[in-house]
A and B are shown apart, each in its own frame.
Chain A
Amino acid sequence: MLKKISNIGDCGITCDFGDEVNKNTNKEVIKLFNFIQDSVNKSKIKGILNYTPSYNKLIINFELGQIKSNEIIEFIKSSDYSKINLPENNKIVEIPICYDEEFALDIKRLEQKTKLNFKEIVSKHLETNFFVYMIGFVPGQPFLGDLSESLYHDRLDTPRIRINKGSVGIVEKFCTIYTFESPGGWNIIGRTPFELFNINKTNTSILSPGDTVKFKSISKKEFTLFKNE
């Protein structure tokens, strides 16, 4: 449930759904996100520049010359968005992953922490239906959950300076896919050749908040031969 709306500076507001990070809270966030996006697309509200859902919050940015925060807050409070059902366009996406040792940089660290062997870790990762909580940090990077509790681990103490594009990492109950080469502190368990983000395509990001992701194991050879459509 929407608990609180606060200002962020003079051209942003945050809609806070409470401290819990779980699918139910996030589904509430996405419901409001869908409502705002729809209202913007149908010109029911002016001046909104961006709307960014995260685990438990929706942040809305607006153009101060067009609209003020109290008008947006009023718009949200006076609408019955919670009664609107989530659109059925949330999809299930299968993402190929290669767990070859060349890519699974932190498998030893995970084996030690979880007391599971490589095979067990992989099968626990593969059997999870991941929910897309949010997308961001850099373009197209998804934050997925929830991982099997037996795989929980902390971030690396010293983040890597460079993580290759396509690397799949886990931390606590979350899993992410690096869509750009970047620094990072997640435990890397594999890599996907699948291009999740391409600015030149109409459908820029394959994943949207609220989608479901299922990983599919591929060999090193399949990884090399994989072609993005």
Chain B
Amino acid sequence: MNNYFKVLRPGINSTFQDLGRFGLQHLGIVASGCMDQLSFCNSNKLVDNKISEGALEFAYQGPLLEMNGENALVAISGKVNFNLIKKNGEIIKGKSNESFQISNGDKIDILSTINSVYGYFSIFGGFKIEEVKGSVSTLVKAKIGPNNGNKLKIDDKIFFRKSHQTNKLKKIEFDFDKDNVIRVMKGLQVHYFSKNSQDDFFSKEYKVTKLTDRMGMRLEGVKLENTVNKNIKSEGITKGSIQVPGDGQPIILLSDHPTIGGYPKIANVITADYDKLVQKTPGTIIKFKLVNLAVAENAFQDYVRKF
């Protein structure tokens, strides 16, 4: 018997992701992968998968899925408002970060993420999706990944692996960091900016704008004055780099970033604060705090303890 979910509504940007596709950036292929690694791993932990198993990532509004097949154990991580609609029409309010059972004919309606952007949907045993170059992450722009590199669309069928029954329900206590301070290290071209602009960047407020997606987050705030050159010789880009084009407004490069770029970079977000950053919704006011490598490496030790 085929086990699958039918997509009745795809959601805004629902894609399969895992921890990323590596070793190909020199050919122009960015790593991609889940935006919020902790939430992603939590969704797998809740259903007893290995933490790197491919999950369905959604942003803002998620999909409406109808299940066909044998009973299954699933979980939704992040902070998500969703309903489980039973075959008989009964509506049960869903609880994120707790695994639950679903049966043939049930629907999962992922209505919205709460004060956050990304959530994850996992199933015990994993989705039946094909790896492309060692990963099930989707890069929509280049049509790379499962589902022919596309976002979910209506009437798609998402097959999942036949799994042995389990009643081992799990729960994870979880909340996002409430504060809006993002720790950064100095970027390679920080000296391209006037002393005043450097001070501004590391102390003043910046607003997350609507022009934000898996590729990058555009910010709005004090204009940064470049006193050296508005362009650099194109060089490789790292996730979390903060580049400043000619208009003086910073852009943080996120998981689907271009592999090389020619704008000067004022700072880089530290690994420990990346998940927190990507969950900030448009309109949020954030501030950057300058730290050094030792602080960033220590912060990473604290971050991995959450996994």
Contact = CB atoms under 8 A, between A and B. Distances in A.
Interface in B112-168: 132-133, 141-144, 149
Contacts of B28: 135-141, 179, 197, 205
Contacts of A33: 26
Contact of B185 (A7, A56, A64): A7
A65 B300 contact: yes
A212 interface: no
Contacts of A14: 188, 235-236
Given A9-B185, A204-B29, A40 B23 contact: yes
Contacts of B185: 7, 9-10
B27 interface: yes
Contacts of A138: 28, 141-142, 258-259
Given A10-B296, A53-B236, A180 B27 contact: no
B297 A136 contact: no
A8 interface: yes
Contacts of B149: 199
B297 A54 contact: no
Interface in B270-307: 270-271, 293, 296-297, 300, 304
A58 interface: yes
Contacts of A40: 23
A29 B12 CA distance: 41
Contacts of A179: 28
A190 interface: no
B22 A49 contact: yes
Contacts of B300: 10, 64-65
A208 B24 CA distance: 11
Contacts of A19: 233
Given A137-B260, A138-B142, A54 B31 contact: no
Interface residues of A, number: 47
A82 B26 CA distance: 20
Contacts of A51: 25-26
Q: Bin the interface of chain B by size.
A: 35 or more
A9 B259 contact: no
Nearest to B272: A10
Contact of A180 (B23, B24, B141, B304): B141
A53 B238 contact: no
A39 to B, nearest CB: 12
B29 A139 contact: yes
A50 interface: yes
A136 B25 contact: yes
Interface string B8-30: 00000000000010111111110
Contacts of B99: none
B257 to A, nearest CB: 10
Given A50-B23, A138-B28, A9 B258 contact: no
Contacts of B141: 138, 180
A45 interface: no
B194 interface: no
A6 to B, nearest CB: 6
Contacts of A10: 185, 268, 270-271, 293, 296-297, 300
Contacts of B296: 9-10
A54 B236 contact: yes
B271 A9 contact: yes
A134 interface: yes
A199 to B, nearest CB: 5
A209 interface: yes
B271 A56 contact: no
A59 B31 contact: no
A128 interface: no
A12 interface: yes
Nearest to B294: A10
A50 B142 contact: no
Contacts of B241: 8-9
B258 A136 contact: yes
Contacts of A21: 233
A192 to B, nearest CB: 17
**Closest 10 A/B residue pairs (Cβ):** A52-B236, A9-B268, A59-B236, A136-B259, A10-B296, A50-B25, A136-B28, A136-B260, A12-B238, A139-B28
Interface of A: 6-12, 14, 19, 21, 33, 37, 40, 49-59, 61, 64-65, 68-69, 134-141, 143, 179-180, 197, 199-200, 204-205, 208-209
